[in-house]
Structure 1
Amino acid sequence: MTVIAVPEPLVDQAVDQLRQDLLSGVHGPGTKLKVDMLRAQYGYSSSPLREALNRLTQEGLVAVDQRRGFRVAGMSAEDFADITRLRLFVDLQALEEAMEHGDDEWEVRSVAAFHRLQKVEARFPEGPLVLNAEWSARHKEFHMALLSGTPSPRLMGICSNLFDQAERYRRYSAKYRSQTRSKSDEHKAILEATMQRDKPEAIRLLTAHISRTQTNIADLFEQGVLLESNAI
């Protein structure tokens, strides 16, 4: 029996492409997102593009300006601090629930995601890995796999959305970072503590992991390396 692949709806395709370009900085913070311009760039009609922009507004990656147009969400040290504060609420809650409820499949999923992340890191030993699209995808996959033991799909959705909002800052700041940061040991330690169901250690390690990124990006803003863009 031949299985016919059903194409992804146009709106979902547009959301995926726009989200990736927003995260990677193709459209910089504060940039006006004109539907006509996006039609020429992506080849979609106005209807799926407007729906995609509305969805990305709900995700916090796009903002609606006073003239009812769309812009890329601005960036600021205060905004990233708020994203980090919320991640420390929801990610830690999800991780704790994952250690309570996670089964064998969750463990296999988490270990496999770490292995795939390591394989990518082994191929790209130099430079800011966050700028590599494959590494970024595997990085998110690893973090979401660890949290996926939670029984709450809504909590997972919030964690995923906040991860993407933080990812935009990570990628943007990596372009200006003078020193690379190896995360492999951090991820391995988090994985091991989580698999051992060592709640205090796993929570401590993930807290430090998330907080360190916030500190690094805050320093770049303070130094003027990153410029705030609050245009809406």
Structure 2
Amino acid sequence: MHKIQNMYKNESTAERALPLVDQAFIRLRRDVLSGNYGAGAKLKLDELQTAYGFSSSPLREALSRLAQEGLIRADERRGFRVADISPEDLADITRMRVMLDVPALRESIANGDDAWEALVVGAFHRLEKIESRLGDGPVVLDDDWTQLHSAFHASLLAACPSERMRTWSASLFDQAERYRRYSARFRKTARRKSNEHRKIMDATLRRDAKTACALLEDHILSTERNVMAVLGAATERAGRS
């Protein structure tokens, strides 16, 4: 808990200006996504109050919101726990992402204007810049990369007229983020995504919906394949121990 407490000494002024519930939600969410709370970890209110300095009321509301996003599980008798990591859960998240993101991108391409194109280009540029500063070997994904990666994917779908599709897509993206962060910690080889992202962007800006959607689907499925390989290796190690 001391590690988590120290992380927030330099929190932004903008974040501190938010309502306490939103502050608690942002911090808890960040720590769940980053793996500071491992899969299946019990989230005890008294420990969370010590770690974050909030009373029980905003923490309970934040936990409820995280449960709605699928990042934690609520149990009336046992409180809250971080959602488990499993091949079955990842496969379900991936299936739903393909079902939502691919048609959302198609609609975004059909409806996007010049301002939307500029948004996509800007989001890609910021993501590419941070990736260019990463080493050549396997890396542990950090919060800055995660934020820019999420922003790029959100920009692709930003012109989709369905707010529900965009909202659900963002929630599923974040649920998949736990798996990306988990697999990055155990990856033996580097996986550069800049080329994949550039190809998706280029096809999108050409308004080539067929190619862009095919590339996005393969991009989502490649994440599943890579994480599944890590999960399989972890299962083998557990079996030998």
Superposed displacement of residue 152, structure 1: 1.4
Q: Secondary structure at the match of 1:63?
A: strand
Deviation string for 1:40-96 (max 9, x for gaps)?
Answer: 001111000000000000000010135140000111001000000000010111101
Aligned to 1:147: 157
Q: How many residues align?
A: 225
- Could you tell me the TM-score, scaled by structure 1's length? 0.92
Superposed displacement of residue 143, structure 1: 0.5
Amino acid corresponding to residue 206 of structure 2 in structure 1:
Q
Superposed displacement of residue 125, structure 1: 3.2
Q: Which has the higher contact order (CA 8 A, sep 6+)?
A: 1
Superposed displacement of residue 173, structure 1: 1.1
Superposed displacement of residue 223, structure 1: 2.3
Amino acid corresponding to residue 70 of structure 1 in structure 2:
F
Aligned to 1:49: 59
- For residues 205-224 of structure 1, what are the structure 2 equivalents within 5 Å? 205-224=215-234
Aligned to 1:117: 127
The one of 55, 74, 81 equivalent to 1:64 is: 74
Distance across 1 between alignment mates of 2:53 and 2:130: 31
1:21 partnered with 2:21 = no
Distance across 2 between alignment mates of 1:200 and 1:96: 8
1:126 partnered with 2:136 = yes
Distance across 1 between alignment mates of 2:16 and 2:36: 29
Equivalent residues of 1:176, 1:225 under 8 A apart:
no
- For residues 1-232 of structure 1, what are the structure 2 equivalents within 5 Å? 7-65=17-75, 67-129=77-139, 131-224=141-234
Superposed displacement of residue 224, structure 1: 2.5
Distance across 2 between alignment mates of 1:58 and 1:173: 24
Unaligned ranges ≥5, structure 1: none
Superposed displacement of residue 129, structure 1: 4.7
Distance across 2 between alignment mates of 1:160 and 1:31: 24
Equivalent residues of 1:22, 1:61 under 8 A apart:
yes
Unaligned ranges ≥5, structure 2: 1-13
Distance across 2 between alignment mates of 1:68 and 1:54: 14
Superposed displacement of residue 217, structure 1: 1.2
1:5–1:141 distance in 2 versus 1, CA, 3 Å: closer
Structure having the larger proportion of residues in helix:
2
Superposed displacement of residue 128, structure 1: 3.9
